[in-house]
Amino acid sequence: MTHILHIDSSSRTERSISRQLTKEFIHVWKQIHPHDTITYRDLRHSPVPFIDESWIAAAFSPPEQATPELTAALSISDELIDELLAADLYVFGIPMYNYSIPANFKAYIDQIVRVRRTFMVVADGYEGLVKDKKMLVITTRGGSYAASSLDFQAPFLQAVFELIGITDITFIHAENLSMGAEARQESLATARQAIQQFIETWQMTTTLSTW
């Protein structure tokens, strides 16, 4: 059985294409894997707080110096990290905002990237502690960034999740969504095919590994 953590981050609701695509993913997935479990988090409706001074003091204090106040400052972070560690597959819907990610998803990242919980400092750098996970990131973008140096969304997500140990990351970019109806339809059809392909590949891999 697979446990999925599904997160949406668009500031739009009904009109959001990233929400629509992650929803379609979950719908198809549930038809094939009806017993799999899903945790859903909506960062627009239930935003996580920005980290603050007490969060930073608590996160970087040695565990033996923990006080009730320091422990309390990390309670939301602990909850989000426990939720992250409990899942096997992440399905994240993340629009491009101003070449990067929505602020609510950055707030989420700042809560879960935490020394001693999701990464360790080691002699030659960092060691991620979130191991053996897979991630699917469905991005939505008004334009196209295939040949652009302005994509600060996917490279950032790749780097920050690799830091905490998540190296198996698939991106499906639904691009050109603001470039007219034809371009949008073409892009959505390609994204839907890629979603189907992801699910089929997963099924083939897990079937082979159980032989």
Ligand X SMILES: Cc1cc2nc3c(=O)[nH]c(=O)nc-3n(C[C@H](O)[C@H](O)[C@H](O)COP(=O)(O)O)c2cc1C
Judged by the rule CB under 6 A, the positions of this chain that interact with ligand X are 10, 12, 16-19, 95-99, 140-143, 177-178
Smallest separation (angstroms) from ligand X to the CB of 25: 13
For ligand X, the closer of residues 120 and 150 by Cβ is: 150
Return the beta strands (E) in the chain as ranges: 3-8, 37-42, 89-95, 119-122, 125-128, 134-140, 168-174
Smallest separation (angstroms) from ligand X to the CB of 90: 17
Smallest separation (angstroms) from ligand X to the CB of 130: 25
What is the signed CA dihedral for 92, 198, 160, 79, rounded to 10 degrees? 40
Smallest separation (angstroms) from ligand X to the CB of 203: 27
Structural element, H or E, at residue 60: none
For ligand X, the closer of residues 74 and 101 by Cβ is: 101
DSSP codes, 65-124: G--HHHHHHTHHHHHHHHHHHH-SEEEEEEE-BTTB--HHHHHHHHHH--BTTTEEEETT
For ligand X, the closer of residues 148 and 209 by Cβ is: 148
- Name the packing angle between helices 75-86 and 103-112 (round to 10°): 90
For ligand X, the closer of residues 96 and 130 by Cβ is: 96
For ligand X, the closer of residues 8 and 77 by Cβ is: 8
